Every structure is written in C-alpha cells, then in structure tokens.
C-alpha cells in the first residue's frame, strides 16, 4: 500500500543562519511490491509562492496523489520538499536567505535522507536501500535552487529543470498587455542595499513591476492577475485558476493546499540574465529541460547552451501547458516524460 510520511530534517549547519533550521519534507512511498529495484529516489522542489503540496494535490480529474502518486505508482520513492523560507520549513526573518544558503540547505537535506535510506532509518518498515539513483527536479524557483545546488554541491545523479531558464527567466504577460518589469539585481549585492542593474529602464517600464503588491492585487480584483496568462493554460478549470491567482495576490484566506504563505525575497535574484550561469555551466550530470508551451523560458531551443559541461541534455516542450505545469490538462504527459527521463538516468548509471 502507498503511504506518505512527514519529516523535518535539520539543516542548521549547512544553512549557517546562526539559528536552528529545518527543511520540511513529505516522503511518498510506493507499494513495497512495486518498489523499483534498483531504486530511484526523486526529490521535488516547488516554485515561488507554492509549497511541497504542489506535487501531491489532485485536480478534479486526477487519479490520486498528483504527481507524487504518479511516480510512486511506477516504483519511485518521491520526496516533496519545502525550501527554507517556504511552507512548513524554517522561515528566517528579513533577507537572511540567498540562493546559495537555500541550495546548501537542500543539499544537506538530500544527503541526510539518502544516508538514512541506506541505513534503513528514514521510515519505519522500510528496509535499507543501497545505491539508489538520486534525482532532483524543481519547478520555477525550485529549478533555480536545484541548479545552484548541483553546481555548488553535486547533489544529484540527474536534474530536471522545469519552467526555469538557465539563461534568462522572463514571465510573459498576455499578448497585447504591457510586459512585466523585473529588477535585475546583482547576486553580489545584499537585498538590504540591492544593486539594481537595470534601474533606469525599470523606472520607465509601463507594466506591472515585480514586488508591487498593491498593483498586483488591484489587477487581480479587476479581473485578471498580470501573470495568469503565463501561469495557467486556457483549458484549465476557471474556478481553480481564479483561486490560485487570487492566492498569489494575497486575497485568499485560507490558502489552497498547494500554496505557501511565504516566499523568501531572494527569489528576485533569479530573474536577472545569467543569474545562475556559473552553476549551470559546471553541471555534469544529465539534465532534463522541460516546460509548457506557454512558460517563462523565452528561447527554449537555446536553453541547452547554459549547461556547457552536461553529459546528456534533453529538452521537452509540453503542449496545452502553461508555467504551473501540474494544473494543466496535459500534466500526465509531462510527468510521463519526467519519469522516462529518470528511468534513463538510472539505466545509464547501471551501464556506467
């Protein structure tokens, strides 16, 4: 029988925040009779404004357990994770978090979980699992953190970068609407005194500016959040789309299960051109670059150039899908592509 176990993993040392810090995870286990051998363990990281339940919630036509259930049905151990600053993980005050310490905490969590799986101490009733293939997939901001973790720490045997650009992430608005304005902030500067590289252009931008909460709320109340077109495909249920975008604007209480009440301010770093260029360039493991046909990747065919050292790069553009992949009517096709890629990474490891 499939089951899920909630855990909190201490990452205080890796995060180096001067405080106790933990990462909240949900371990989704397949029926032990269906557990793949050798085993694949997939760690999944959500995007900004979302929590780890993004990977397990069901759309109205779902078959149980969302994406987590899909992969478990096919023999994977699937672990959905809240980054620091998200969901039920530690939420530091102010601007203590950056791309590097969030990624370092994720790496520490993964290594502890994999060590406990090998020792048979992660979950009661689960026998030791030795030499499992360890995958990391991340959607949007989760993809950013996954690239940084892999570049800095070589965390995974393969990474899936889902709806995030290793070149330049740009959130488009509906055609005919002014483009959203995004500050390009140098990672060398603190958010307490940010160095905005495009400040002059930003001051003249006609569209909504990222971080302008009042403007985003006003647009949502008036009928459409500026990011709705890029986040949700037209074929999705209108009531769920409205709920998600009103939650994004802070106009829903309580939040839907897939949403996080917090997102760390450091997420703003990820929309600058080349924000993770160094980390992406040193990734050597197989990379799956996957996105919806309407997403935040301006030049999908140019994305492989970001991963200059990767030994294997695959690209998938899913039809009838926008940026929030797990809401799309074609989400199962997307999950199938991820699963086939992951099984391929595991097969390559056995051959290697």
Asked if the model's pLDDT at residue 51 lies above 70, the reply is yes
Q: How confident is the model at residue 180 (pLDDT cuts 50, 70, 90)?
A: confident
Cβ contact 325:139 at 8 Å: yes
- Percent pLDDT > 90 in the chain is 84
Q: For the whole model, what pTM was predicted?
A: 0.96
pLDDT score at 59: 97
Q: How confident is the model at residue 210 (pLDDT cuts 50, 70, 90)?
A: low
Asked if the model's pLDDT at residue 223 lies above 80, the reply is no
pLDDT score at 92: 97
> CA-based diameter of the chain, in Å?
60
Strand-pair category, 77-81 with 22-29: antiparallel
pLDDT score at 212: 67
Q: What is the pLDDT of residues 338-351, one digit of tens each?
A: 999 999 999 999 99
Asked if the model's pLDDT at residue 94 lies above 80, the reply is yes
How far apart, in whole angstroms, are the C-alpha atoms of residue 49 and residue 85? 10
Q: What is the pLDDT of residues 314-339, one digit of tens each?
A: 999 999 999 999 999 999 999 999 99
What number is the average pLDDT over the span 179-197?
92
Asked if the model's pLDDT at residue 273 lies above 90, the reply is yes
Residue 50 has phi, psi (to 5 degrees) of -120, 160
Higher pLDDT, 220 or 161: 161
Summary mean pLDDT of the chain: 94
Asked if the model's pLDDT at residue 42 lies above 70, the reply is yes
What number is the average pLDDT over the span 246-268?
94
Q: What is the pLDDT of residues 116-155, one digit of tens each?
A: 999 999 999 999 999 999 999 999 999 999 999 999 999 9
133 DSSP β-pair partners: 40
């Amino acid at each position: 029988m499939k089951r899920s176990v909630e855990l909190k993993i201490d990452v205080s040392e890796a995060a180096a925040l001067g405080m106790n810090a933990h990462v909240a995870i949900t371990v989704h286990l397949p029926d032990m009779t269906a557990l793949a051998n050798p085993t694949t363990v997939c760690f999944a990281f959500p995007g900004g404004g979302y929590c780890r339940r993004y990977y397990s919630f069901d759309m109205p036509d779902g078959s149980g357990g969302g994406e987590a259930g899909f992969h478990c049905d096919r023999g994977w151990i699937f672990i959905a994770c809240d980054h620091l600053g998200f969901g039920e993980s530690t939420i530091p005050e102010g601007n203590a978090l950056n791309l590097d310490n969030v990624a370092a905490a994720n790496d520490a969590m993964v290594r502890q979980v994999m060590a406990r799986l090998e020792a048979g101490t992660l979950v009661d009733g689960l026998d030791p699992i030795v030499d499992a293939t360890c995958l990391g997939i991340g959607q949007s901001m989760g993809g950013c953190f996954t690239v940084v973790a892999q570049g800095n720490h070589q965390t995974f045997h393969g990474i899936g970068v889902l709806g995030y650009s290793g070149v330049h992430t740009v959130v488009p608005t509906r055609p005919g609407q002014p483009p959203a304005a995004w500050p390009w902030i140098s990672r060398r500067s603190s958010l307490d005194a940010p160095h905005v590289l495009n400040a002059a252009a930003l001051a003249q931008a006609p569209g909504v500016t990222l971080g302008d909460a009042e403007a985003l709320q006003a647009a949502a109340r008036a009928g459409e959040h500026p990011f709705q077109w890029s986040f949700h495909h037209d074929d999705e249920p209108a009531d769920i789309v409205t709920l998600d975008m009103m939650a994004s604007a802070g106009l829903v209480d309580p939040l839907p299960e897939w949403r996080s009440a917090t997102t760390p301010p450091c997420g703003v770093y990820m929309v600058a051109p080349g924000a993770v260029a160094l980390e992406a360039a040193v990734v050597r493991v197989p990379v799956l670059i996957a996105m919806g046909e309407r997403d935040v990747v301006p030049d999908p065919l140019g994305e492989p150039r970001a991963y200059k050292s990767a030994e294997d790069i695959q690209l998938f553009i899913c039809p009838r899908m926008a940026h929030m992949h797990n809401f799309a009517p074609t989400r199962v096709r997307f999950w199938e592509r991820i699963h086939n890629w992951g099984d391929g990474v595991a097969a390559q490891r056995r051959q290697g």
